[in-house]
């Protein structure tokens, strides 16, 4: 399978090279434009239909010299480049990169260290997500700190090996942020359901399912952070150990930090102070009403964050965010597009970032870098890779804020 080019949909030239003797063909929206003994030239021409795919097929090979080492990339991308140069340029302005989606954390996979993705795997989006090496290398290349989310079910061997590889490979001048799972308070995720079942089975929470889940999460955080602390014993200042919880529920933070000795193994409390409003009842022509409500939504999100900061301070911890930004979700795609593409969305982000800086001043993680507008939300700072900054009001505002802050 080939990754289709990002919108807008226009033809993209691709060159596949390979070792060995054999023949490759193409199908779907991929068309062969040329070939040689060890190469196949294609053009990908997607139209935007949801069921479109492109792939290459091996139709002939020589068992004595089999086809191997297949490498398909944009025709103008150098063979030595691991990442798309445009993508590297885009992320280079940020101080911290959180790899939650790259790790496919929300899939709640149960993988051993031996099953992890390696750099030479054919896919970096399988059950194990991207390789640790690729994530670390991207952080090194862009001069960013790295934020990893340990799989909720990772065993001690997995966590230790992961930590050791990061310690060996990450630039010593870079920090590593470590979190267990993603939103292990949110019932829409399987890890939360597992934590609830496990907590109750262990007699946690005095029989209260929610408290049992939070206390079980606290146990998993402690178990993971003990290992990371050991691995980083010679550089504790390079390690930031995270406990994450819901921005709107301060009780969760108290349950987690107040459980056993969890607070001793945590450096920072993190929440997601999203700018949220109920989009029910709004229609495509109501963008003015939506933006009129945005200042109040910003204040509400940060007021709740201030409560979380107070709790963190009681335990002597930093308060930061694991995700942040706008959280406007509507099935009315006409409304979603009108709001997300409106220049006033840039003003919302400018106001939000300034308010965070003035009131908190610590790490704010914006979710996410790139994602399309859909009925499930419009999370990306931009809608597709390579989108002109003038067409991406959120990214434009963030870029200006970062430039002014340097």
Task: State the total domains in the chain.
Answer: 2
70 & 150 share domain = no
138 & 29 share domain = no
Contact yes or no for 274/248 (Cβ under 8 A): no
Domain C-terminal end among 74, 93, 109: 74
136 & 58 share domain = no
Each residue of 366-399: pLDDT tens digit? 999 999 999 999 999 999 988 999 999 999 999 9
Question: How distant, in Å, are the alpha carbons of 106, 285, 370 from that of 333?
Answer: 25, 12, 18
Provide the pLDDT for residue 49: 82
Does 1 map to a domain?
Answer: no
Each residue of 90-109: pLDDT tens digit? 999 999 999 999 999 999 99
Each residue of 21-68: pLDDT tens digit? 999 999 999 999 999 999 999 999 998 887 899 999 999 999 999 999
Q: Measured between alpha carbons, how far is 248 from 113 in angstroms, rounded to an integer?
A: 35
62 & 92 share domain = no
Provide the pLDDT for residue 8: 80
Does 96 map to a domain?
Answer: yes
Provide the pLDDT for residue 149: 98
Containing 210, the helix (H) or strand (E) segment is: helix 209-231
Domain C-terminal end among 44, 74, 104: 74
170 & 247 share domain = yes
355 & 264 share domain = yes
352 & 399 share domain = yes
Q: Look over the chain and give the mean of its residue pLDDT values, rounded to a whole number.
A: 96
Does 3 map to a domain?
Answer: no
198 & 97 share domain = yes
Provide the pLDDT for residue 26: 97
28 & 170 share domain = no
Structure tokens at 206: 């005095």
Structure tokens at 115: 């099953």
**Percentage of the chain surpassing pLDDT 70?**
100
Does 79 map to a domain?
Answer: no
Q: Measured between alpha carbons, how far is 252 from 331 in angstroms, rounded to an integer?
A: 30
Structure tokens at 222: 């402690």
Does 264 map to a domain?
Answer: yes
Containing 223, the helix (H) or strand (E) segment is: helix 209-231
Provide the pLDDT for residue 4: 86
62 & 199 share domain = no
User: Could you identify the residue written with the tokens 């505002």?
Assistant: 397
pTM: 0.95
Domain C-terminal end among 74, 96, 125: 74
Does 80 map to a domain?
Answer: no
65 & 109 share domain = no
Does 252 map to a domain?
Answer: yes
Ramachandran area for residue 85 (φ above 0: left; ψ -120 to 50: alpha; else beta): alpha
300 & 176 share domain = yes
Q: What are phi and psi of 218, to 5 degrees?
A: -60, -40
Measured in whole angstroms, the distance separating CA 401 from the mean position of its chain's CA atoms is 21
Q: What is the pLDDT along the chain (406 residues), one digit of tens a residue?
A: 998 887 788 899 999 999 999 999 999 999 999 999 999 999 999 988 878 999 999 999 999 999 999 999 999 999 899 999 999 999 999 999 999 999 999 999 999 999 999 999 988 989 999 999 999 999 999 999 999 999 999 999 999 999 999 999 999 999 999 999 999 999 999 999 999 999 999 999 999 999 999 999 999 999 999 999 999 999 999 999 999 999 999 999 999 999 999 999 999 999 999 999 999 999 989 999 999 999 999 999 999 999 999 999 999 999 999 999 999 999 999 999 999 999 999 999 999 999 999 999 999 999 999 999 999 999 999 999 889 999 999 999 999 999 999 8
Contact yes or no for 196/184 (Cβ under 8 A): no
Direct distance between the N- and C-terminal alpha carbons of the chain, in angstroms, rounded to an integer = 41
Whichever domain contains 220, its CATH number is: 3.20.20.80
Provide the pLDDT for residue 6: 77
Closest of 11, 76, 101, 87 to residue 48, by C-alpha: 11
Domain span at residue 99 reads: 85-405
Does 5 map to a domain?
Answer: no
């Amino acid at each position: 399978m080939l990754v289709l080019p990002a919108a807008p949909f226009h033809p993209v030239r691709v060159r596949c090279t390979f070792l060995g003797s054999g023949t490759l063909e193409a199908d779907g929206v991929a068309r062969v434009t040329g070939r040689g003994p060890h190469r196949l030239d294609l053009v990908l021409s997607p139209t935007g239909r949801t069921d479109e795919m492109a792939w290459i097929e091996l139709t002939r090979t020589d068992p004595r010299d089999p086809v191997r080492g297949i490498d398909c990339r944009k025709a103008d991308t150098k063979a030595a480049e691991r990442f798309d140069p445009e993508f590297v340029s885009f992320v280079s302005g940020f101080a911290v990169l959180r790899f939650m989606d790259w790790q496919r954390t929300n899939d709640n996979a149960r993988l051993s260290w031996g099953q992890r993705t390696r750099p030479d795997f054919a896919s970096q989006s399988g059950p194990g997500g991207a390789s640790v090496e690729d994530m670390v290398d991207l952080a090194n290349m862009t001069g960013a700190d790295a934020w990893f989310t340990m799989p909720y079910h990772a065993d001690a061997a997995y966590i230790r090996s992961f930590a050791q590889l990061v310690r060996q490979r990450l630039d010593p001048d870079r920090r590593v942020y470590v979190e267990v799972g993603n939103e292990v308070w949110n019932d829409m995720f399987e890890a939360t359901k597992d934590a609830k079942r496990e907590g109750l089975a262990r007699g946690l929470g005095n029989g209260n399912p929610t408290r049992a889940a939070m206390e079980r999460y606290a146990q998993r955080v402690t178990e993971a952070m003990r290992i990371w602390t050991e691995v980083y014993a010679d550089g504790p200042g390079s390690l930031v150990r995270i406990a994450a919880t819901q921005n709107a529920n301060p009780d969760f933070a108290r349950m987690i930090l107040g459980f056993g000795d969890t607070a001793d193994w945590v450096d920072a409390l993190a929440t997601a102070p999203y700018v949220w409003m109920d989009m029910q009842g709004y229609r495509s022509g109501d963008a003015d009403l939506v933006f009129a409500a945005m200042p109040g939504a910003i204040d509400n999100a940060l007021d709740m964050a201030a409560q979380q900061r107070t709790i963190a301070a009681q335990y002597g911890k930093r308060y930061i965010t694991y995700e942040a930004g706008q959280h406007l979700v509507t099935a009315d795609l006409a409304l979603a597009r009108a709001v997300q593409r409106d220049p006033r969305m840039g003003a919302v982000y400018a106001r939000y970032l300034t308010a965070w800086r003035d009131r908190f001043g610590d790490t704010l993680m914006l979710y996410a870098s790139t994602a399309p507008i859909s009925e499930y939300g419009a999370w990306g700072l931009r809608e597709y890779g390579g989108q002109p900054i003038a067409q991406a009001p959120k990214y434009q505002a963030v870029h200006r804020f970062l430039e002014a802050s340097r």
